[in-house]
Structure 1
Amino acid sequence: MPNNRVDVAMRELIASFSSLQAADVIDRLARTAAAVAGTAYSGFVRVDALRQEACPVHVHAPPGDPLRVRRWLIESGVLKELAASPATVRLARDPLMGEPGFLAAPVPAAAWDHLFVWVAGRGFCDGDEHLLSRFATASGRAMEAASGLEAAVRLLRGVRAFRPV
């Protein structure tokens, strides 16, 4: 009977830790960043360890992408600017030139080399920059927590698999 209790407890623990997936956390964080910034566009960009290339990890955009931010991210040179920058990047909005307005803040996260959370779609000010910077810190903590839970699930499954019957 005690072994049955252990089995049930382990299954419940693994199930509760497994309910949080890192990809879902990133999606929720991106959606919330857009809401916090009062825009419809947001996402995460990862920069390689050598700071030579950047690539979008997640993009949140409204259906149809009316401002064409997905395309702008790839074609504008903003990814190269993020790769070279260790700090916040703010680009002015200029609809005539196809510039949607862009703000990106570095995410302090040990699990990622260099990561930025970004928002786009309007002009941004110093207050927005401060708010996004605070959100970036919270995002880093959330991503590390999700990653830690995934690692804990792997370890718990190992404990369960090798537990004496």
Structure 2
Amino acid sequence: MTESTRPRTPTALSDLLDGLTACRRSRLLERVAAAAAEICSATWAGLIEVDPVHARARPVHTGAAPAEVRSAERWLTDSGLLTAVASTSDVVCRSIAGVGFVGVPVPFGIRYQAVIWVAGTELNRNAEDLLIRLATAAGRALEAAGDLEAAARMLRGVQAFTAAGSRGPTTSTSGTFARSPASRIGVQ
């Protein structure tokens, strides 16, 4: 196949797909945890996934020095904080052996719930209020990231269809589709 006959993806479609996939949820979780630690003057921060139906919780991202991640997650479990977070939909504030903990639910509608948490010996006195505001923004950002991922999956289908060399719908001289899928099902 020569360069001129090889099917290619339109540049605008590729650019759109690149833009939609630039925001990855995993990277967003890292940034949310880092922001939580910074604004609350925390040593550790992260996100916990909560299954309220089964009253279970597990850390899905822990922001700590690489050597401390397992220690932080073990501390969450051994201190009973995962159980406390799983048993309520409210803010959880505790102090365990001089280490403060604040966990705030992230508001978004899915089966599983998430909690942003921070822990440290010198938490900012406004940590709870700041974390509530961050959780609200993070919930919206995570939902938007999920929507962007869904849109990117759909566009990959369009991209595959385009790359396969199919011409797609033809246009009339007026610039509208000659026979769009919407008109075939009775939508004008």
TM norm structure 1: 0.85
SS of the counterpart of 1:103? Answer: strand
Residue correspondences, number: 157
Cα separation, 2, equivalents of 1:112 and 1:34: 26
Please tell me whether the aligned partners of residues 92 and 123 of structure 1 are also in contact (alpha carbons under 8 angstroms).
no
Structure richer in helix, relative to its length: 1
Please tell me whether the aligned partners of residues 73 and 79 of structure 1 are also in contact (alpha carbons under 8 angstroms).
yes
Cα separation, 2, equivalents of 1:135 and 1:103: 13
Cα separation, 2, equivalents of 1:70 and 1:23: 18
CA root-mean-square deviation: 2.2
Cα separation, 2, equivalents of 1:64 and 1:137: 30
Instruction: Name the structure 2 match of 1:89.
Output: 92
Shift in Å, 1:160: 2.2
SS of the counterpart of 1:109? Answer: coil
Instruction: Name the structure 2 match of 1:103.
Output: 102
1:71 aligns with 2:74: yes
**In structure 2, what residue type is equivalent to 1:58?**
H
Q: Which runs of 5+ in 1 are unaligned?
A: none
SS of the counterpart of 1:50? Answer: coil
SS of the counterpart of 2:68? Answer: coil
Instruction: Find runs of 4+ consecutive structure 1 residues off by over 6 angstroms.
Output: none
Q: Which runs of 5+ in 2 are unaligned?
A: 1-6, 168-188
Cα separation, 2, equivalents of 1:75 and 1:93: 11
Instruction: Name the structure 2 match of 1:41.
Output: 44
Shift in Å, 1:101: 1.2
Please tell me whether the aligned partners of residues 90 and 124 of structure 1 are also in contact (alpha carbons under 8 angstroms).
no
Cα separation, 1, equivalents of 2:124 and 2:89: 19
Superposed CA deviations along residues 86-108 of structure 1, whole A, max 9, x for unmatched, are 1000002533xxxx210000000
Instruction: Name the structure 1 match of 2:138.
Output: 139
Please tell me whether the aligned partners of residues 59 and 73 of structure 2 are also in contact (alpha carbons under 8 angstroms).
no
TM norm structure 2: 0.76
**Could you say if the C-alpha distance between residues 24 and 112 of structure 1 is closer, same or farther in structure 2, counting changes exceeding 3 Å?**
farther
Identity %: 36
Q: Which has the larger radius of gyration?
A: 2
Superposed CA deviations along residues 58-112 of structure 1, whole A, max 9, x for unmatched, are 101124329x4222112111111111011000002533xxxx2100000001246
Instruction: Name the structure 2 match of 1:32.
Output: 35
SS of the counterpart of 1:148? Answer: helix
Instruction: Name the structure 1 match of 2:114.
Output: 115
